[in-house]
């Protein structure tokens, strides 16, 4: 077996920084947009019905966001309620006539991304 092939290649890539390394404290925008678009699609299907059980689950290690039902958070996740906590105004996630969920998710991110970063990442 050639030695170049057995060089010190890690089996996995480390997500967490080593002590003293700079780690940008930001949410992954793509995963947040996908989670918001998923939520918008769910609450607007068959008429607008906001779901108070839905939460954005932010993974602490890599700052990705997923949509879950409320429950006991995993050890590596922090939950934020979509209706009331992330978007306090009622009707924010309601689709306009002919609007796609991705469009509204992008619009909401453009308006509130900096506020979401401050609101979500300060406790982490």
pLDDT (tens digit, 9 = 90+) per residue, 3-59?
A: 555 556 555 555 555 566 555 556 788 899 999 999 999 999 989 999 999 999 888
| Res 98 pLDDT > 70 | yes
Residue 38 lies in a domain: yes
| Domain tally, the chain | 1
If one compares 5 and 97, the residue with the highest pLDDT of the two is 97
In the chain, the percentage of residues whose pLDDT exceeds 70 is 74
Residue 22 lies in a domain: no
**Mean pLDDT rounded to a whole number for the chain:** 80
| Res 106 pLDDT > 70 | yes
- pTM equals 0.74
User: What is the domain range of residue 84?
Assistant: 29-121
| Distance, CA of 79 to CA of 53 (rounded, Å) | 11
Residue 17 lies in a domain: no
Residue 46 lies in a domain: yes
Residue 106 lies in a domain: yes
Residue 5 lies in a domain: no
- What spatial distance separates the first Cα and last Cα of the chain, rounded to whole Å? 46
Residue 63 lies in a domain: yes
**Could you tell me the pLDDT band of residue 87, with boundaries at 50, 70 and 90?**
confident
Residue 21 lies in a domain: no
| Distance, CA of 6 to CA of 33 (rounded, Å) | 40
Residues 6+ apart with CB under 8 A from 58: 27, 64, 65, 77, 78, 79, 80, 120, 124
């Amino acid at each position: 077996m050639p030695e170049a092939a057995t060089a010190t290649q890690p089996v996995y890539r480390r997500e967490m920084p080593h002590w003293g390394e700079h780690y940008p404290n930001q949410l992954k925008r793509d995963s947040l947009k996908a989670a918001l678009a998923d939520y918008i699609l769910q609450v607007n299907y068959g008429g607008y019905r906001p779901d108070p059980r839905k939460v954005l689950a932010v993974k602490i290690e890599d700052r990705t966001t997923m949509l879950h039902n409320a429950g006991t958070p995993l050890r590596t996740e922090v939950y934020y309620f979509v209706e009331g906590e992330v978007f306090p105004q009622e009707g924010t996630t309601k689709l306009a006539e002919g609007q796609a969920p991705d469009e509204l998710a992008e619009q909401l991110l453009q308006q509130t991304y900096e506020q979401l970063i401050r609101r979500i990442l300060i406790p982490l």
